[in-house]
Amino acid sequence: MTRRATLPRTKPRRPRATYPQVDVGAAALVDAAVLAVPASISVADALAKARRRDVHVLVAADALILRDDLARAASLGIGGARARMLARPIPLVDADASEVVVRRHLGAGAPLVAVRDGRRVIGAISAGTAAGDGGISLTDRLGRRLPAAALNVLDTAARVAAERGARAYLAGGIVRDALADRLGHGGPATHRPAFGGTDPQSPTASPDLDVVVEGDGPGVARALADALVAPLVEHARFLTATVGPTSAGRIDVATARSERYEGRGTLPRVMPSSIEQDLRRRDFTVNAMAVELASGRLELLDPHGGRSDLATRTLRILHPASFVEDPTRMFRAARYAVRLGLGPDAWTTRCQERALSLAPYPALSGARLLGELTRILAEPRPDLVLVRLGAGGVYRLLDPRYRFGRAARARLSALPGALAQGGGVGPSGSKGFATELLLVALLAGQPGEVIAAALRRLDVTGEPLARITRAIAERASLARVLASPARISERARAVRGRPTLHLAAVWLDAPAEVRRQLDAVRDALPVRATLRGDEVIGLGVPAGPAVAAVLEALRDAQLDGEVTGRSEEEAFVRTWAEHTRKER
């Protein structure tokens, strides 16, 4: 008999219990009190009130101001300014706003979220109360971006740091560019720098690695150098060291640190700190990210919303006095904007304008300013960076009387072409030549006192100073000679013997016809007669100065097309010698 298959009995399922999702609202998350102050209150008075009442957020009319920003501004000597100038674009939500909304703002890098009930701000929510999501892993992105040697170095850095009770992090442009790739922005331009350097997107490149250490940075650097059998250079003042060169490039090891600026434009005093404080001291949110190395998961640390700003192509500073602390950040802002395709938000632009209103910055050395200008020449599009700086008024750091006009814009736009055109004569491929031509392009057309003051500000002295000032002074007269209907020999005589810088200075803002004449003259300069000095003496020219004179006259005749070939040269010399004898 065949048995029928039977299915096993199952217990009837109970209906799943449902629980209401409770959202307490933003008001219940408030953990920081706020203090209302007059709209006209000064930085110093607002800071005193905040300390007396022990609050960290002040409200001046519609402006939200952080106590930390007040303290920073007071230490920079601008305690008499209005506190409202330090207002940040802090998110402001209604008291019944969802916790999800609060988390979204904090996850995007907001230092806190202010809460209002009607028109009144009732408090603030700090980042620790409703933290954003955990960091994403960059294992795949960094694995494809970095060569194997660099990844091995990072593993070694993490290991030697752990052995010394420290923690190592990868920071710097590599993290930013890896995120830019992930977001589909392509990272930095793929053009190679004009004067050397490494293309960071090349698969064979060995990019410099920036490693930040929580703990004994110099000790980790020494251990890393031993493990890699590489040279080590320590920089004690800044708690940094450089390991390398190695097969993976250079490794810059820095102790995680906080910074204190004791004046506007001074170099900071540094103190060991946590990675969070280290990221807080940096210039822009897109540079204030790091990757932890200890776990091997390569998770992103992004406390200030750099990833979000990369997604929206935004360049944003970390606090309102950023440019006052270090005005050279204005130069870096222009470089990053052009190279990475980022644009400053309105708040960052306002902060830069306010910082420029405080110029000059006596504590900011000319060497640092000149260094920032020189670095621009290594950018793929230095002309766009330089024009952007001019449009933003940044050259007032060289002299407050500097005015950026249409002619200066045209010269700076023509700079790459002038550098290329200058390559045929003299040592124009050197950084010195390029920097001097940049200063000519930047300062030509300014009043004489502005030119002199700017060059003093940049600490330009000696022969470079003489070459630059002469090139600026004489470029107009040389351009007139080149534009005149004179014979090519006359134009060549005006050009011959001049420094390459002078010729490139003329090319900068000359019309197309003058540029063509300059190119033609420069091509003609190597022309020489085939006859030698002893040969012209044999043709009747007396020894002495007359030999040089006849050879110069012969060269001019060749340039003008009056003499071609050796027989015509000999006839020219005989005629010249006979004419000279008759004049005697």
Q: What is the 3-state secondary structure (H, E, C) of 381-429?
A: CHHHHHHHHHHCCHHHHCCCCCCCCHHHHHHHHHHHHHHHHHHHCCCCC
Q: In 3D, which of 546, 484, 536 has the Cα closest to residue 513?
A: 484
Residues of the chain where predicted confidence (pLDDT) is lower than 70: 1-23, 128-135, 182-206, 422-431, 584
Q: What is residue 1's predicted lDDT score, i.e. its pLDDT?
A: 43
Structure-block tokens of residue 425: 């004569």
Q: What are the E-state strand segments in 221-268?
A: 232-235, 240-246, 249-255, 257-260
Taking the C-alpha atoms of residue 234 and residue 4, their distance in angstroms, rounded to an integer, is 85
The bridge status of strand 290-292 relative to strand 269-272 is unpaired
Residues 265-287 pLDDT 10s: 999 988 999 999 999 999 999 99
Contact 158, 166 (CB under 8 A): no
**CA torsion sign, 192 to 198 to 202 to 204?**
positive
Q: What is residue 326's predicted lDDT score, i.e. its pLDDT?
A: 97
Contact 280, 171 (CB under 8 A): no
Residues 286-328 pLDDT 10s: 999 999 999 889 999 999 999 999 999 999 999 999 999 999 9
Q: How many residues does the chain have?
A: 584
**CA torsion sign, 358 to 363 to 368 to 369?**
positive
Domains assigned to the chain: 26-126 (3.10.580.10), 139-307 (3.30.460.10), 398-524 (1.20.58), 533-583 (no CATH)
